[in-house]
């Protein structure tokens, strides 16, 4: 991966050093470990009221930082990543006060894993704006406040299983860049940016940045994606293709957690474009 030094015109070579995906075969005691056991963490954005920020035992984690959801490794406010694939997911969360977890999930944004609310995501009233009979019936069971009944309760996530370059250890990690709720608009912009650049989705590197926004209720953070100046060579592209094949052919589980609404002061806003709740960053 070639990168131009900002202070000079010299080109500095930085090896990608992709980690092997079949580590269980290299380390003893993991003989039974396979892709079904693999949990892929996601890049978790910290807000002012995130438990990790308020934890006095973790003073190094601050508002606006991006951390590994499983290890709590702190990437800071910007990370370099290479997307491997693109997924659309929908999740109807149960609030933490009601025990947490997922009441319904769709791995493709179209077909839910339960028909309790609808047999098709497109027709599910839980994703719509405004009050309806299904929301009124389920809102207490899910733990939402009555004032939330006019908002979409089911969240759409744009998810990108990715290779993230750990800038401290110079190793790469398989991680999910998950853009939903307040960062959903960034996810839609990113997938269109990636398509416009041409080639496989993993043929370009990008920067994920924590960006602070403000509204009448205060400050909050969102994730935004930008092109990077890194160029991949043929060897690196071949390695990425191997990891891409592993990701799309394996039954891997992406770690997902609900962002407590109290942690984000930004309220959902109804977009006029396309008149669809899928366009709502919330």
pLDDT tens, residue by residue, 40-59? 899 999 998 888 888 877 78
Q: What is the DSSP track for 218-241?
A: EEEEEEEEEE-S-B--HHHHHHHH
The H or E element containing residue 161 is strand 154-166
| Residue 274 to residues 56, 62, 123, 190, 277, Cα–Cα distance (Å) | 45, 37, 16, 18, 9
User: What is the rounded CA–CA span in Å between residue 75 and residue 72?
Assistant: 9
Assign 8 a pLDDT band (cuts: 50, 70, 90). very low
User: What is the rounded CA–CA span in Å between residue 203 and residue 194?
Assistant: 9
Q: What is the pTM of this model?
A: 0.80
Q: Where are the beta strands (DSSP E) in 8-115?
A: 11-13, 39-40, 43-45, 66-68, 74-76, 78-83, 87-93, 102-106
Residues 6+ apart with CB under 8 A from 184: 155, 156, 157, 158, 279, 280, 281, 282
**Buried b / exposed e along 19-29 (16+ C-beta atoms within 10 A):** eebeebeeeee
pLDDT tens, residue by residue, 95-126? 888 888 899 999 889 999 999 999 999 999 99
- Percent of the chain predicted with pLDDT > 90: 48
């Amino acid at each position: 991966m070639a990168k131009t030094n900002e202070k000079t015109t010299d080109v500095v070579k930085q090896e990608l050093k992709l980690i092997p995906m079949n580590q269980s075969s290299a380390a003893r005691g993991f003989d039974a470990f396979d892709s079904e056991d693999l949990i892929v963490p996601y890049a978790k954005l910290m807000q002012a009221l995130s438990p990790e920020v308020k934890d006095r035992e973790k003073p190094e984690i601050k508002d606006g930082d991006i951390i590994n959801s499983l290890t709590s490794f702190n990437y800071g406010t910007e990370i370099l990543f290479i997307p491997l694939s693109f997924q659309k997911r929908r999740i109807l969360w149960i609030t933490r006060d009601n025990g947490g977890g997922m009441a319904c999930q769709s791995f493709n944004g179209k077909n839910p894993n339960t028909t309790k609310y609808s047999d098709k995501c497109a027709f599910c009233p839980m994703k719509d704006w405004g009050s309806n009979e299904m929301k009124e019936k389920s809102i207490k069971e899910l733990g939402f406040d009555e004032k939330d009944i006019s908002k979409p309760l089911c969240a759409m996530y744009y998810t990108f299983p990715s290779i993230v370059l750990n800038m401290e250890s110079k190793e790469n990690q398989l991680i999910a860049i998950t853009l939903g709720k307040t960062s959903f608009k960034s996810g839609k912009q990113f997938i269109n940016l990636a398509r416009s650049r041409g080639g496989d989705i993993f043929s370009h590197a990008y920067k994920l940045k924590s960006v602070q926004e403000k509204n009448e209720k205060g400050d909050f953070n969102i994730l935004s994606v930008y092109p990077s100046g890194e160029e991949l060579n043929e060897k690196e592209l071949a390695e990425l293709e191997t990891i891409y094949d592993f990701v799309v052919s394996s039954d891997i589980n992406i770690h997902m957690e609900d962002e407590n609404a109290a942690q984000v002061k930004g309220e959902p806003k109804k977009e006029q474009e396309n008149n669809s709740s899928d366009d709502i960053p919330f």
